[in-house]
A and B are shown apart, each in its own frame.
Chain A
Amino acid sequence: MANEISLNQLRDLAQRAGLKLSDDALQQLVPGVNRTRQQADELRRLLNNQVEPAGHFCANKGN
């Protein structure tokens, strides 16, 4: 299970993503980011190794 992200960790991730965010802005993001990560963990419990992502690249479909 993913640990909760702290403000410091979020600051590091923001920097690596090229985002200039104040600590106030980062603090506001913490609950939402952790909620979405928890949701992803909940979804992991549905899966086994046989499950592939929905949708695949189609080699003969012109883009």
Chain B
Amino acid sequence: MSTTELGYLTIGEAAIGLRQKKFSASELTRGCLARIDAFDGKLHAFITLTRELALKQAEQADTELQAGKDRGPLHGIPIALKDLYATRGIRTTCHSAVLEHWIPDFDATAATKLSEAGTILLGKVGMHEFAFGGPSVDAPFPAVRNPWNPAHIPGGSSSGSGAALAAGLCHGALGSDTGGSIRTPAAHCGIVGIKPTFGRVSRYGVIPLSWSLDHAGPMARSVEDCAMLLQVLAGYDPKDPASADVPVPNFQEEMKGGVKGLRVGVPRKNWFDENLGIHQESEEVFNEALRVLESLGAQIIDIDGKAFSLARKANQTILISEAYTYHEKTCQETPEKLGSSVRRRIIEGAFMSAADYITAQRARAVLNEQIRADFSRVDVFAVPGAARPPEPFEGMDPNELNLRPSFTNPFNLTGLPAISVPCGFTQGNLPAGLQIVAPPFAEAACFRAAYSYEQATDWRTRRPSL
């Protein structure tokens, strides 16, 4: 197999190939490393490449698999971690000068779980600084580029995870999501990412942006791969105060059950046209995705989007208040260590009053109730993965994001599980995503709808020309 064919295998395909001895974990890993060497010079997905560790882990995986010690479908699979997951002995920077030389002496729970499942750690990938703001132009590491067109952003803040997957540099990745940071790069890079229910995946060892809104979750090149990753990641962790002590189902059990009769709510009214509204090309691609779901037997139901529109406002107030609190000391003593874009966004939180913050948390209670009430009429929501195609770096206006609807924020506020799956391309051959949102802890419903859509289309077979 060529490095391209190897590099673009899904986790599911790689797992089968390993067990049929078509290739080894060492070959799979060397394939990823070769692609990283070939292409990452212009994509900047990786901040820290753990080449020697990866080859050693791959060798161990091969030995174990040969001896019949099979840790499960992730055994021998090369992955990357967003560089805010603490990794023992490996630099963890949050793409910032503040943590440029930090080497943790502990592992994030999610990192430990993936390691115990036998994955191969290729390295730590780039992101928006401290998971906030936009691409950092004045951070110590270059901004990640979109493999579909490196002149364009890959979306963030899990930008390195999205780009590395789209370019076939790894087979699975971890992201984090506080306002859309898994789903936006998934949409902009043409890959799959799920923000699970709040509390489903431990955030222990994940550098916080906003304690009330942070979610940890997997990204991959297929819906099934995300389900496999989430199966390993999910579960109660007493080290995370927000961890939910709820049973973990088999996420793949009903994944292939289809969407016949599924009631899909689309909260278009009073939301999609907020301020500048959704970009016309993004809306066209989204509408076409809805037609595919209908052709598969789903019922599309219009619902009111006002509560979703307001949810973004509560999300933002909570986010900047908590983010500032986390970074207060840095803002007071060494603000110059923060990049200009993230520094401005974080410091805004200093000027929120306690009453503003508590108002937002109270509004959260009201809006959560209003949005969840819609599940009496629909089974899932469908919304676009992003309000516009990924912008070019040149001339990018960070304020423009505030002028369009956020299709991701409301599901951080409500904690609902939300998956983004590729749903086509806009005119500049830039990917777009379809988001499926389900009731709390119903990730299986996200996977089922997303899988049906994915298998009815061929978007997952497209590759960027690198």
Contacts and interface: CB of A to CB of B under 8 A. Distances in A.
Interface string A15-47: 001111100010011001101110110111011
Given A51-B366, A53-B365, A54-B362, A43 B351 contact: no
A50 B396 CA distance: 43
Contact of A42 (B238, B313, B361): B313
- Determine the interface band of chain B, counting residues with CB < 8 A from chain A: 20 to 34
Interface in B294-324: 310, 313-314, 316-317, 320
Given A19-B347, A21-B347, A52-B362, A46 B241 contact: no
A46 B364 CA distance: 10
A14 to B, nearest CB: 7
Contacts of A18: 332
Contacts of B402: 35
A2 to B, nearest CB: 8
A19 B358 contact: no
Contacts of B314: 43
Contact of A32 (B241, B348, B367): B348
B363 interface: yes
A36 B310 contact: no
Interface string B322-366: 000000000110010000000011011011100110111111111
Most chain B beta-carbon neighbours within 10 Å: one of A10, A35, A43: A43
B212 interface: yes
22 contacts: A14-B350, A14-B351, A17-B350, A19-B347, A25-B344, A29-B344, A29-B347, A29-B351, A32-B345, A37-B356, A39-B313, A40-B313, A40-B317, A40-B359, A40-B360, A43-B313, A43-B314, A43-B363, A47-B363, A52-B365, A53-B358, A53-B364
Given A32-B344, A39-B316, 17 more contacts: A19-B331, A19-B335, A29-B347, A36-B316, A37-B352, A42-B313, A43-B359, A46-B310, A46-B366, A47-B362, A51-B365, A53-B358, A53-B361, A53-B362, A54-B361, A55-B361, A62-B238
Interface of A: 5, 10, 13-14, 17-21, 25, 28-29, 32-33, 35-37, 39-40, 42-44, 46-47, 51-55, 61-63
